[in-house]
Structure 1
């Protein structure tokens, strides 16, 4: 799991704002249908995201299956920003 969170943030040179849940970090969170730590690697593909929050905005909520379309604009705007602002100009790790 660390490879998906802290490891990914480290690879993007954004470990100060991504990959952790703390004050000052970006509010990007996915709530899965099961405890992924309790599953084997062969079971992970069968799970689904029940809730997705990007930059503090809910962009997917499985509980609202028949509600209006989720605000995907928030996710699209975030994704098109490119490399996070804290990215290093040269790789130091």
Structure 2
């Protein structure tokens, strides 16, 4: 009975922080650059959208809106890394 209780109780294990610091710095650098790339993609989408309105091209407007939205989504995800615990 005692061995069953011992097996079912949770034990805390502490990991070394040395490896996590370097991992966090790598994640921060990657997130920073992905955020910048997302803003560039959003800017390109805004240009496509403006050209679609200028040429009255429905396909160009849709492509521009999709590109604009995807760029802002990538930027938003990189800015919300603290929500994911990273």
| Bigger relative contact order, structure 1 or 2 (CA pairs below 8 A, ≥6 apart) | 2
More strand per residue: 1
TM over 0.5: no
**TM-score, L = length of structure 1:** 0.28
More helix per residue: 2
